[in-house]
Amino acid sequence: MKVIKFKEEDLDSAPTILVLGYFDGLHRGHQALFDKARDLAAEKNASISVLTFPESPVLVFKKFNEDLFKHLTSPDKRLALFEENGVDFLYLTDFTSHFAKLTSHDFIQKYVSHLNIAAIVVGFDYRFGSDHGELSQLSEYESYQIAQVSDAGEKISSTRIRQAVLDGDVSLANRLLGYDYEVSGIVVHGEARGRTIGYPTANIESKHYQYLPAIGVYVVDIEVSGVRYRGMASIGYNDTFGGKNKTLEVNIFDFHDEIYGESVTVYFLKLIRGMIKFDGVDALITQMNSDEKLSREF
């Protein structure tokens, strides 16, 4: 897959199926668009292209807060998901105040018309341009609008998945995504209390603006140097020890190497429990023994 900053002179001239949208998370609803795009690409002997934005358009319209920079996937994971879904050309353009003022006609003339489009695929709720253009605005092209994809009677959306993650319901988030929710980061030095009670942990700081699940203890897998291990993760403040900073710590089962400075990926599989402030270390160890048993058996 080629990743290209959108410039007229850099565009591929071969026939392509253009998929439009922002695609935070590339969930099952989004994947339905790419299922159709792959069918069309095979039928028309065309490539698949996406025109999208590196950051959320919401940044242009709302008062800034740190959450507006957050994503369901890291930049690397987002690229990998596009590639897994058959995308050949990923065209990126910044969503700015100037871009937001483009009408649907302007958008077609400035962007869409410069590609050799065999067909266009969009989602059921896709709108574009300052005048909120609909599929009818693209009538000069062969266009397809994919129906809503639902789960348990509700539409699958990035907003719904985001809320599930923030609520700690990673089982629901994973079902809606179609893959395990993950957070990537670097292993750093922490307080090293875990090793004193027989549960050493890898303390992970994310390099990316990603949503951390709710405070609690989770069954996880963690990928280290290309190998995936089972473990259990704690997201919280180390209340038993009077901690004040929110941390992500993973106890990796049957793993004894030092991995400070290494990049790892944590896959959240199931919420075990919320965070508890224990009366002492013995009660904490008893609970962690139970958490480990559940995690190993998951």
> Could you write out the DSSP letters of every residue in 20-81?
ES--SS--HHHHHHHHHHHHHHHHHT-EEEEEE-SS-GGGGTS---GGGG-BSS-HHHHHHH
pTM above 0.85, yes or no: yes
Say what the pLDDT of residue 9 is: 62
Two tokens, residue 138: 């693209």
Say what the pLDDT of residue 197 is: 67
DSSP string, 230-287: EEEEEEE--GGGT--S-EEEEEETT-----TT-EEEEEEEEEEE-----SSHHHHHHH
Say what the pLDDT of residue 199 is: 85
Say what the pLDDT of residue 97 is: 96
Say what the pLDDT of residue 240 is: 46
pLDDT at 171 over 50: yes
The CATH superfamily holding the domain 180-297 is Riboflavin kinase-like (2.40.30.30)
Structure confidence at residue 195 as a pLDDT band (50, 70, 90)? low
Say what the pLDDT of residue 261 is: 96
Could you tell me what percent of the chain has a pLDDT over 90?
A: 78
Structure confidence at residue 8 as a pLDDT band (50, 70, 90)? low
Beta bridge partners of 289: none
Say what the pLDDT of residue 159 is: 96
Q: How far apart are CA 282 and CA 267, in angstroms?
A: 29
**Region(s) of the chain under CATH 2.40.30.30:** 180-297
Question: What class is the 2-155 domain?
Answer: alpha beta
The stretch 68-94 carries a mean pLDDT of 95
pLDDT at 24 over 70: yes
Helix, strand, coil % over all residues of the chain, rounded to 5: 35, 30, 40
Structure confidence at residue 113 as a pLDDT band (50, 70, 90)? very high
Cβ atoms of 143 and 120 closer than 8 Å? yes
Say what the pLDDT of residue 192 is: 63
The stretch 45-63 carries a mean pLDDT of 94
Structure confidence at residue 241 as a pLDDT band (50, 70, 90)? very low
Structure confidence at residue 190 as a pLDDT band (50, 70, 90)? confident
Structure confidence at residue 247 as a pLDDT band (50, 70, 90)? confident
The stretch 116-145 carries a mean pLDDT of 94
Q: How far apart are CA 52 and CA 14, in angstroms?
A: 19
The stretch 214-219 carries a mean pLDDT of 96
**Nearest Cα residue to 124 out of 135, 133, 114, 116:** 135
Mean predicted lDDT score pLDDT of the chain: 92
